[in-house]
Amino acid sequence: MRQLRNILRLGIKELYSLRRDVVLLILIGWAFSVGIYAAASGFSVDLRNAAIAIVDEDRSQLTIRIRDALLPPEFKEPVLISFPEIDPGMDTGTYSFVLVFPDGFEQDVLAGNQPEVQVNIDATATMQAGIGANYIANIISQEITRFSAELGETTSLPLELVTRFAFNPNLTSSWFSSVMELINNVTMLTVVLTGAAFIREREHGTLEHLMVMPVSPFEIMMAKVWANGLVIVVAVAFALWVVIETMLKVPIAGSIPLFLLGTTLYLFFASALGILLGTIARSMPQFGLLFILIVLPMNLLSGGETPLESQPILLQSFMRLVPSTQFVSFAQAILYRGAGFDIVWFEFLTVTLVGLALFALAAHRFRSSISTGK
């Protein structure tokens, strides 16, 4: 009971210290509110209002139908231009896409030939270029099929491909980016808070004061873990219910309490990592360098920014043991697909075991740094 009281009191001291750190409070408030909202609404990979022009040398009913099918919000209203206007329009960035329909296009379609349509794309924006090219190809294919069917032509394919998008039927990028921003912020803010708290104790000389008190290194570490973890859990709950669900209108498929439970387990690992880096670094600039070298690559390779399957096999095998990868995995399973505990229990177990191992390593490093003064 004495040990629990010490952990509780030291944790309350941490909360009071954090309350006086205005910069960190602003950082936490920004990261779990404006930062998430800005990442979801300010950056989008969706195709919106792309400028498109058409060189229609056929001027047939079919080309008019294709032109009318290029609709907002993906495309602006198509502009009819002549062939010599293509290069100046692309060079000045006036048009992102230019379609060229050759003379006799409709006749070739009805005759069963395969006429070519030239699609000029401004690929300086590579993501928009790829998405737009797929949109245009699908629109042309659909309009040709419908036009031929209305005229009784047999242009049907040997199979009908029906595509169904699960969990995000409209392919709204904000549904993905908002949750991924939240997940990344959990890792970064937890490491920063615990590491900064440890270094702050050392720089202010209060760490030595703690060590002459009847408290153990374990109690000091646990106090920092629960205090900073509590702040992050409250911020995550606020971000999910207020920013993501209410403001951004992102539907949460699964149980938020289950996700918060998994987040709590993950915070144990992230806090231990912050303390470990805090024992290695001698100042905040050194801590910042370690953060860049370790935490940022860990976030990038955890599957939230780049698919895990696209990484080299050896790197995949290593990253599957890192709790940040398991955190991304069960977060997506719960929040996107509505998974229950029976599905995510293995990720919970992995995060817990690795977190305990890292906490033991951080505790050993903490005791060594106290005894040697390094």
Residue-wise pLDDT for 37-55, tens only, equals: 988 887 666 778 889 999 9
- Residues 112, 88: Cα–Cα separation, whole Å: 35
Q: Answer whether residue 329 shows pLDDT above 50.
A: yes
- Residues 6, 165: Cα–Cα separation, whole Å: 52
Lateral strand order in the sheet of 118-121: 79-80, 52-56, 97-101, 118-121
- Residues of the chain within CATH 3.40.1710.10 domain(s) are 52-150
SS3 state at 100: strand
pLDDT (mean) for 205-219: 71
DSSP strand E in 201-281: where? none
Q: What is the pTM of this model?
A: 0.76
Cis peptide before 73 (omega within 30 of 0): yes
Q: Answer whether residue 110 shows pLDDT above 90.
A: no
- Residues 19, 210: Cα–Cα separation, whole Å: 20
Residue 202's pLDDT is 75
Sort strands 79-80 and 52-56 into parallel, antiparallel or unpaired. parallel
- Residues 279, 272: Cα–Cα separation, whole Å: 11
Over the stretch 255-314, which tens digit does the pLDDT of each residue have?
Answer: 999 999 999 999 989 999 998 998 888 888 889 899 999 998 998 898 877 778 888 889
Residue type, 84: P
Residue 44's pLDDT is 64
- Does domain 52-150 correspond to CATH entry 3.40.220.10? no
Residue 101's pLDDT is 93
